[in-house]
Amino acid sequence: MPKRIPPEIKRRVLIVENDLLLGAGVEHLLIRETNLEVIGISPQNEEELFRKIRRLQPEIIILDETTYLTQSNRLLTTLRQDHDFHLIIVNADKNIVYIYHKYTVMLRQISDLIEVLREK
């Protein structure tokens, strides 16, 4: 099981496509967490997405599984060489998140997602 991050350490969380309903909802819920620096972006294409990720250097990236911008495996292989991050793919239809390279977590409530974000 992953280690917990001390609450005094802020983690930068990047929410992709925060202009869409899922992204906006996740951003609204996470912004209340004092140990998270939540940043929402709405890039127009994959190149802009990669550029913003490289500039912002998030520890956690949250992406909707149905995004048209990129595929999770492409994002991982392209950006892994730049810096280390956790990629969380959200599937709102199934209430599941895929956490690369860790494990899959069943979400029953928003506190389950917050617990995942607190883990290292």
Structural domains counted in the chain: 1
pTM above 0.95, yes or no: no
CATH number at residue 84: 3.40.50.2300
**Residue 5 domain-assigned?**
no
Tokens of residue 98, six digits: 């895929």
Domain that holds residue 40: 11-118
pLDDT band at 5; cut points 50, 70, 90: low
* pLDDT tens digits, one per residue of 35-82: 999 999 999 999 999 999 999 999 999 988 888 888 888 888 787 777
**Residue 85 domain-assigned?**
yes
**Residue 4 domain-assigned?**
no
Q: From residue 47, how far is each of 43, 50, 53, 97 by CA, in Å?
A: 9, 5, 10, 24
Instruction: Give the C-alpha separation, 14 to 100, whole Å.
Output: 15
